[in-house]
Structure 1
Amino acid sequence: MKRVFLIVLDSVGIGEMPDAAEYKDEGSNTLKAASESPYFSMPNLEDLGFFQIEGMDWYPKKTLNKNPKAVVARMTEASKGKDTTIGHWEIAGIQSQKPLPTYPNGFPKEILDEFSRKTGRGVLCNKPYSGTDVIRDYGEEHLKTGDLIVYTSADSVFQIAAHEELVPIEELYRYCQIARDMLSGEHGVGRVIARPFVGEAPAFKRTANRHDYSINPPKVTMLDQLSSQGFDVIGVGKINDIFAGKGITEYVRTASNEEGIERTIEYMQKEFEGLCFINLVDYDMLYGHRNDVDGYAKALTYFDQRFPELRKNLKEDDLLMITADHGCDPSTESTDHSREYTPFLMTGIPIPEGKNLGTRDTFADIGATVLDYFKIPAEFLGKSML
């Protein structure tokens, strides 16, 4: 019974791509920045050859001279963009010719006017903003007026924050669906995100009731191909949200990297045939966007400490793949995502020996590899690494 466990370490980029200057990301290297923290330690992935990937000659350890024990490669993003949606879509086979729209100056008046008309509520903020700062700065006014806090970021997102005692969760979700239905075509943002919060000023606190409403993937993905052939496609973390449920047969949301790893191990111990696709978001959400180098390093160290447990639970026909979707260098001035290469590592009993596959042309090679393992020809541009 064949299974693939594909883990995305959200935002763990490994160095600037040749076009990084177009994205104002010259010099970005997320993994290198984290490695300079005293809290960084990844001996288990290092032992498999993770730091032998092309472009990692900055890594000081002697293992760079050894042959990798796993299959490793440096992945190039062929799509235009550097966000979660575009990155995951390309892993699954979609190369996007233009980035999803972003709104550095806020959303156009006509969009917000229509949104207010349909929800019956006014709008506050309408700027790129930190999610914790925006409720601190606008939370009291929101409670006084009943207006919704609408904000964005460097990503293609339309975020709506509301206090749970003023706007019940289901009502906030309904407002998000209204926005999702409105935002298509030219203004087809990657995600509409519900950002509920609780508490009293100035100690407002976001809750775990976040919910993402993603734009539908525009083309066929490896998820569609797998599920249409009767294989299981399990999403862990925000995978179901990123793909708007398309091609997913089962999913579970998670609140942390720790929970994501626990749910993955639980699925490893169950019977199924197909793909378990996991997103571990803490690197990006908690540390990259907040320029927390030590926090980022600790999170990578934690994953490496749990990695032997993941490998131990692999069965005879299981493959374990590790990759990322973009960068988010915590050491630069920017708090945005960064245009970087990403790592790829594949291990499991069906991989008899390690090999360094150099630099690949597209993240879609990962999707093609998954499909090839299940003997399904990919209906997209991408070359199998098997």
Structure 2
Amino acid sequence: MSRVVILVIDGFGVGAMPDAGAPRPGDAAADTLGHLLDDHRAATGRRLQLPVLEALGLGLAHPHPELAPVPSLPVAAGRAALGYPGADTYAGHQTMMGADFSRVTAVRLAGHLDEVATALRASGHHADRLAGRSLLVVDGRALVHDNLEADPGVNWNVSARLEDLSFAEIVSIAQVVRSVAPVARVIAVGGHADAPLESFVRDGDLGTVGLDTPASGFYRNGGLAVRHLGAPLDHTRRLPELAAAADIPVTLVGKAADVLACDAAICCPAVSTAEVLGLTLDAVRQAPDTALVVSNVQETDLAGHQQDASRYAAVLRRTDAVLGALLPLLASPGDRLIITGDHGNDPVIGHAGHTREYVPVLIHRPEATGFDRLPTARTLADVGATAADALGLRAAALGNGTSLLRPVGGSAGAPR
């Protein structure tokens, strides 16, 4: 019997991977957590207080003078490489659930404008370039454009103001784009902007052109609506479907509900951190002795896109506080709380894109004694495989990944 909670803190990197500077040379210095801690110290003169994350071994995942070097709870802690190209939420979550995303196609919309426009017109829409640039205006209200927040060419967006189109209409346009798109994800985005969207179009890296979503006001004006339309997947080899096939209840919370889209799961989409964490607590309280909950705290990622370190710190503190309420609910032998990220999003790096960083892997094991230092995992798929093992599933049935844990009773790490 095991209740497993995977809590993904979106954009929670712990230092640049060796190839982080490939799209943007400055990203070789990316360090979301380290820069966040340094910025908070510089701005306030105090440590950023994250007592539960430190007790769970955050200082093992990222040795930093502001973090306790030794966990005080029974954990296994380390970090993971991403295991997929670029730095992307959709690819990160799919990889974590066992999908093989090592060969994601990354292409600019510019090379497919005619194909996309033809598909939209065949569906009854008007589709034209915006002032001759490499993006489309659909029905005079929606933009089809490169996503400027992930690595260049990984995702395309369909964006519109909710005053101009309903979110269902935005999703309908995105579904047409998805039908011809070779990229990992087409993202439907609706929100409330400070001005017409055309005024926020800008050039991105490597010849991309798109909407500067953070500048538009979508993230700060409330009412943000997002739907992730992913590339075709072998769903039979993902963790949620394997669990559901074994009659294990599955709950997906927050952005995970949109990104993972499992028909057999209870899906609880939400954006605000308070709602996401509240739904996560409710899911665990209501869970039977064996269950899987995957939850995503999105507002850390939004703060990174906005280059707002103080907001990022506030969301992280709020998350840490709720972890203190979550741990007592996962106190039975075999229960697991796995805290990780999907990529980095350094809030002081100087641009609004994701950063290609290692992410923490903190695994609480209430029946263990002491702590283990984990070696660096080669891929986020190892997180899903670890959860599968805890649930009594065959990790080998996943499309990818190897469990990170030895059986309980192995040697614990010694304090440094």
When normalised by structure 1's length, the TM-score is 0.84
Structure-to-structure mapping, 1:368-383, within 5 angstroms: 368-378=385-395, 379=397, 380-383=399-402
Task: Give the CA deviation at 1:67.
Answer: 7.4
Residue 69 of structure 2 is aligned to residue 71 of structure 1: no
Give the letter aligned to residue 376 of structure 2: T
Aligned partners of 1:114, 1:168: CA distance in 2, in Å? 21
Aligned: 1:330 with 2:376: no
Q: Please list, as runs of the form range in 1=range in 2, the aligned pairs for 1:117-196 lying within 5 A after superposition.
A: 117-123=122-128, 125=130, 146-154=140-148, 155=150, 156-183=154-181, 187-196=182-191
Alpha-carbon distance, 1:21 to partner: 2.6
- Which runs of structure 2 are paired with 1:198-213 in the superposition (5 Å)? 207-213=223-229
Give the C-alpha shift of residue 200 in structure 1: 7.4
Q: How does 1:34-113 map to 2 (within 5 A)?
A: 34-38=36-40, 40-53=48-61, 56-61=62-67, 63-64=68-69, 69-103=74-108, 107-113=112-118
Matching residue within 32, 48, 52 for 1:30 = 32
Asked if 1 retains the 8 angstrom alpha-carbon contact of 2:109 and 2:145, the reply is no
167-176 vs 192-201, greater mean Cα deviation: 192-201
Residues 113 and 230 of structure 1: CA distance in aligned 2, closer, same or farther (over 3 Å): same
Is residue 161–residue 197 contact of structure 1 (8 Å, CA) maintained in 2? no
* 3-state SS of 1:277 partner: strand
- Which of 290, 293, 304 is residue 276 of structure 1 equivalent to? 293
Question: What aligned pairs does 1:247-326 form with structure 2 within 5 A after superposition?
Answer: 248-272=264-288, 273-285=290-302, 287-317=303-333, 318-326=335-343
Measured at CA, do residues 19 and 269 of structure 1 come closer, stay the same or move farther in structure 2, by a change above 3 Å? Answer: same
- AA paired with 2:93? H
Quote the Cα distance in structure 1 between the aligned partners of 2:165 and 2:385. Answer: 44
Aligned length: 366
C-alpha offsets along residues 210-234 of structure 1, whole Å, 9 cap, x if unaligned?
Answer: 3332223246112221111111121
Change (3 A) 1:172 1:49: closer
Unaligned runs of 5+ in 2: 200-216, 406-416
**CA separation of 1:297/1:113 partners in 2, compared to 1, >3 Å: closer, same or farther?**
same
Whole-angstrom distance in 1 between the partners of 2:275 and 2:114: 40
The answer to whether the Cα contact below 8 Å between 1:119 and 1:175 also exists between their aligned partners in 2 is: no
Q: CA deviation at 1:327?
A: 0.5
Q: Give unpaired runs (5+ residues) of structure 1.
A: 130-137
Distance 1:59 1:177, change over 3 A: same
For the Cα contact (< 8 Å) 2:5–2:294, is it kept in 1?
Answer: yes
Check the 8 A contact 2:12/2:33 in 1, yes or no.
yes
CA distance in 1, matches of 2:278, 2:111: 38
Aligned counterpart for 1:384 among listed residues 377, 394, 403 = 403
Q: Provide the C-alpha distance between the structure 1 equivalents of 2:102 and 2:195, rounded to a whole number of angstroms.
A: 45
Deviation at 1:347, TM superposition (A): 1.1
Give the superposition deviation at 1:146. Answer: 3.2
